[in-house]
Amino acid sequence: MTHVERGLMWFRRDLRISDNAALYQALKTCKQVYCVFVFDRDILDSLPRKDRRVCFIGDSITQLDAALNLLGGSLIVRYAQAIPTIVQLAQQLHVDAVFANHDYEPAAIARDRQVAEQLKSITCTFHTFKDHVIFEKDEILTAQAKSYSVFTPYKNAWLKKLTEPGGEFFTKPYPVFSYLRALTKPPAQLVQSIPTLEQMSFDPDYAMPISAGEKGAETLFEDFKERIEFYDETRNFPAIKGPSYLSVHLRFGTISIRELVRYAYERSCVDLKKGAQVWLSELIWRDFYVQVLYHNPHVVSQAFKPEYDRIAWEEGAYADTLFKAWCEGATGYPIVDAAMLQLNTTGYMHNRLRMIVASFLTKDLGVNWRWGERYFAEKLNDFDLSANNGGWQWAASTGCDAQPYFRIFNPTTQSEKFDPEGKFIKRYLPQLQKLDKKNIHAPSLMEPMLAKAAGLEIGRNYPLPIVQHEQARIRTLERYAIVKKQKF
């Protein structure tokens, strides 16, 4: 890039200084670099007023501003619509270029197109860079130059590109700290205090149970390094400390994906156990879903496989009743209910549980996967459009490389397998505390006298199952039969 006098670094879902591609390019290219973050009202105004993610962003922004100040810069923070704000600041600061990292969601792509056009009208360029993923857009394609729709061949191609000569470039960190001399504090008249959650009409007491910012991310990562060796053995059991818990930090870019992949790959090459290898595979799934969304933006509102949009989901008051019970954790299936209560009370849900509750909603209750996807989008701390959409379409068998429609999770056997002692269930369903591991997975089948002795009254302090799994399974196979009959 041609060197310019002044640039503006626009932080978005990359709330860190270290190994930040756009920040590096800005500092390397410009003599002076200003920094900005916009609490975008086009996004925030539609969110519930109790939203842990806004609290997390606010804490991360405060941390980022403090770090920039120590390094000679500062962060301009605005609560406004992003497009006019960025263009206005570019004019006020007389910058020659605005720098940001790529965002692959359809709405973000449209936003960036508008920003670029409006900046061009004031003779300012707009430059974006890859930072959120290891491989993007057309960097991993099939032999027919098409995007992948099946994970395993995508993963093989991904690993091949990473490990071939020169592949180390893709995980090499950007040396941001070598160019900090370009960081510049904005003019005093443009400096405003960071808007509080109250000023943005959000509940300040609705915070996440994990620390925000780069410091929070690094603390979690250091902790996970001690457990990664056994990740393949522990990741599916919600009652134990198995996951990395880094998904929300990846979502908001408070840690670099390059740092995580580099570490996972190096550990997978030397560890005798498969923990790092399995974790690396899950990081590749993240890239996979991003490229699926980028190449197939229709998945935001439609099935990846168009024929699956012919499925007749439950409708009307009956569907509303089923969905309400699912949302509230009142289905009569303890593993499902505990998982939903975990989501509702913490904003987090274990990945195995996400698969169980998604399968239950779509395959046992026959409710449209889009309803569950929207609910997760509102509740999940780590909500990411590509992963959330991909996960829901996988569970509903409507997506690419999805679970075949005739494979239907049995919630009771899933519970017995992945929460065998019922420890996770008891954490969120205290009325089941006295049940033993034999009865806790299906309390409605208990002898009434045993249930009463355990303080349990089915239908009163814990609901009867709202559907019977075996009957629901038959209805699901009938529901999906329309897909099997169609010829496309």
Number of Cα atoms under 13 Å in the Cβ half of residue 218: 7
The two tokens of residue 304 are 């990846």
Contact 255, 249 (CB under 8 A): yes
Taken as a whole, the chain contains a residue count of: 488
Q: Of 369, 373, 388, 410, which one is the catalytic site residue?
A: 369
Tell me phi and psi for residue 4, to 5 degrees: -130, 170
Q: How far apart are CA 253 and CA 60, in angstroms?
A: 10
Contact 387, 289 (CB under 8 A): yes
The two tokens of residue 393 are 């379409």
Q: Residue 348 has what DSSP assignment?
A: -
φ/ψ region of 19 (left if φ > 0, alpha if ψ in -120 to 50, else beta) reads left
285 assigned to active site: yes
Q: Of 371, 392, 410, 439, which one is the catalytic site residue?
A: 392
Q: Residue 402 has what DSSP assignment?
A: P
279 assigned to active site: no
Give me the amino acid identity at 416: E
Q: Of 10, 158, 279, 285, which one is the catalytic site residue?
A: 285
Q: Tell the residue number behind the tokens 């397998």, with chain if given.
A: 417
The two tokens of residue 446 are 């208990």
313 assigned to active site: yes
Tell me phi and psi for residue 8, to 5 degrees: -125, 120
Tell me phi and psi for residue 79, to 5 degrees: -115, 100
Query: CA–CA distance from 252 to each of 194, 213, 309, 449, 461 (Å)?
Result: 18, 9, 32, 51, 39
369 assigned to active site: yes
Q: How far apart are CA 475 and CA 470, in angstroms?
A: 9
447 assigned to active site: no
Q: Of 229, 259, 313, 344, which one is the catalytic site residue?
A: 313
Q: How far apart are CA 159 and CA 277, in angstroms?
A: 11
105 assigned to active site: no
Beta strand pairing call for 4-11 and 97-101: parallel
Provide the annotated active-site residues: 282, 285, 313, 351, 369, 392
